[in-house]
Structure 1
């Protein structure tokens, strides 16, 4: 079954760009996520980490 799919994909013009494009999107997403995590303010992280420990829960 894989042989049929491989043969069909090889006959499509310009199909070689899709693996490169998907790798680029994957890489940029995780680089962006890493930049966001590193640049997040430490005070905000501390504030958010204390939420489960608070007694006054508003539902």
Structure 2
């Protein structure tokens, strides 16, 4: 009975890790798209220089 529980626990952990990694990949793609859009939609300041689209 213990080996069956261990195998089911291992399958549950691997399934959770796989789901988390896939979700992190989608999050990374979304951040990359926002970052690239920020470069495309930069505004120019009154002084003629370019400003950053973020504030950090």
Query: How does the TM-score come out when normalised to structure 1?
Result: 0.49
Residues 3-42 of structure 1: matches in 2 within 5 Å? 10-12=11-13, 14-15=15-16, 16-41=18-43
| Structural RMSD (CA) | 2.9
Moved >2 Å (runs of 4+): 7-14
In structure 2, list runs of 5 or more residues that go unmatched. 1-6, 52-56
In structure 1, list runs of 5 or more residues that go unmatched. 1-6, 50-59
Paired residues, number: 41
